[in-house]
Homo-oligomer: A and B are copies of this chain.
């Protein structure tokens, strides 16, 4: 796959060795995570809001109520920054200074625009649901006309994109390796625990596989 082309704005000035522009790397991060932080500016003040997203090809979709301040601002054509971060572990070095995180993050810069086509909007909504819980969409009630009207879907082209990745062991100063302290990596991951069935469930339905075996990245990916 063709790499993303670094721009002045997506070129890492610090630790450039951690920068990646491979489409495959970027897609993998975007497909494993499902929460992003959207940055936008209103009256000179930056706001950063956590929200869900989905990717279809080279388009990132975010959505929300047509009444939300964030999405109304975006719809007016403001520049956005969408950042997706996966935390993979704690890096325990011998010196305080070299402690770090293992992580994978993607930063997308660009202009978000409203998805006007009803067909594309519907496909994006399906992607939101199935991105978080594969196969869920087919089992639940689809959005009705009123819900479609109340939902704003925005698209952001994956053009100005960079990933940043840190993996592996701590890197200490050479003279610090002799220090008698435990050093290494403590891996971290998002895990699911016992599902809590809604008390208002009216019929006896088995827990679906996609709930019982929930994991990220999704097993069918």
Q: What residues of chain A have their CB less than 8 Å away from a CB belonging to chain B?
A: 9, 13-14, 35, 37-41, 44-50, 52, 64-65, 67-69, 79-83, 85, 87, 90, 92-97, 99, 101, 103, 105, 107, 109, 125-126, 129, 132-133, 136-137, 139-144, 147, 151, 169-170, 172, 176-203, 205-208, 211, 214
A177 vs B129: C-alpha distance when bound (angstroms) = 19
Known A48-B38, A67-B14, A83-B48: A185·B196 in contact at CB below 8 Å: yes
Q: Which residue of B lies closest to A91 (CB)?
A: B198
A7 to chain B, nearest CB (A): 11
A77 to chain B, nearest CB (A): 12
Q: Are A107 and B47 in contact (CB under 8 A)?
A: yes
Q: List 12 A-B contacts (CB under 8 A).
A: A35-B101, A37-B85, A47-B107, A93-B140, A94-B141, A97-B141, A99-B140, A141-B176, A186-B195, A188-B190, A189-B191, A191-B191
Q: Are A83 and B177 in contact (CB under 8 A)?
A: no
Residue in B41, B140, B187 whose CB lies within 8 Å of A94: B140
User: Which residues of chain B come closer than 8 Å to A93, judged between CB atoms?
Assistant: 140
User: Which residues of chain B come closer than 8 Å to A136, judged between CB atoms?
Assistant: 92, 96, 99
Known A68-B14, A147-B97, A187-B193: A81·B48 in contact at CB below 8 Å: yes
Q: Which residue of B lies closest to A204 (CB)?
A: B180
